[in-house]
Amino acid sequence: MFRLKKVLLFSVICLPLIFTACSNSTEEKIHKHLEEAVKIENENESEKDSSIADLEQHEQEIYKEIIDLSLDDYDKIKELVDAANENIDERNELLQQENDKYEESRKEFKNTENLIEKLSDKDTKEKAENMYDTMMERYAAYDDLYKSYNNVLEKEKTLYELFKEEETDQAKLADHLNDLNEDYETIIETNKKFNDETKNYNKLKKEFYNLTELNVDYESNEETNDK
């Protein structure tokens, strides 16, 4: 029985290394909200993402061990199913924590909307509006990703309950696996959308800062984290 390997790569928003400004300008206020949104989003990002990746790898190992067993090993299967369900619960908890963080980041970022309207320079304002719209598209992509991953966790629970049945309906099991694999493909596609919007936003934010009098230096390379 085939399962698609679940590996998610999330692009991270660039965080400036140095910032100096001489006044409390509209541009500076926008900068403050933009970077606070990044800070919120990136708090403990590497540590948490690594945990999700490790949990996914462990769940794959449990799955492979189950399908290698015969029906005569029912007690061992039940034990492994319990371990898989615990793994799913842990990933779900991390997912909810992540979702809360993105909601907090979005709330902070939206504080820039009214400030952007106050920008006097036409080119700077247009660039800021494009940047804002792109970031909102990114948040929307994350929402889709969150819903898709949450749905997959629920279906994984159902999958392992099917394994737990002493007389598992193989046709039903195969249908459920096919359904899950389609959902994994959806996650990969949505994740690509999220990453593309992240890269677009990083580019537009740099261009916006370059149009202002803000003195901002960046890290040379964007980073990606396993999820």
Residue with tokens 């990044």: 38
Among the listed residues 145, 12, 9, 163, the one whose alpha carbon sits nearest the alpha carbon of residue 82: 163
Comparison of pLDDT for 70 and 144, the residue scoring more: 144
- Model pLDDT, residue 200: 96
Among the listed residues 216, 170, 194, 172, the one whose alpha carbon sits nearest the alpha carbon of residue 13: 194
Q: Fold for 9-226, please state it.
A: Four Helix Bundle (Hemerythrin (Met), subunit A) (1.20.120)
Q: What percent of the chain has pLDDT over 70?
A: 82
What residues does 224 pair with on adjacent strands? 11
Averaged over 107-119, what is the pLDDT?
A: 97
Measured torsion, CA atoms of residues 160, 165, 171, 177, in degrees rounded to the nearest 10: 0
44 SS3 class: coil
Tell me the C-alpha distance between 225 and 227, whole Å.
6
Confidence label for 220 from pLDDT (cuts 50, 70 and 90): very low
Q: Are 10 and 203 in contact (CB under 8 A)?
A: no
pLDDT of 49 strictly over 90: no
Average confidence score pLDDT of the chain:
85
Domain positions in the chain are 9-226
Neighbours of 49 (CB within 10 A): 20
Render pLDDT for 4-29 as a digit per residue (tens, 0 to 9): 445 455 556 665 544 454 457 899 99
Averaged over 98-124, what is the pLDDT?
A: 96
Confidence label for 47 from pLDDT (cuts 50, 70 and 90): low
Tell me the C-alpha distance between 65 and 177, whole Å.
16
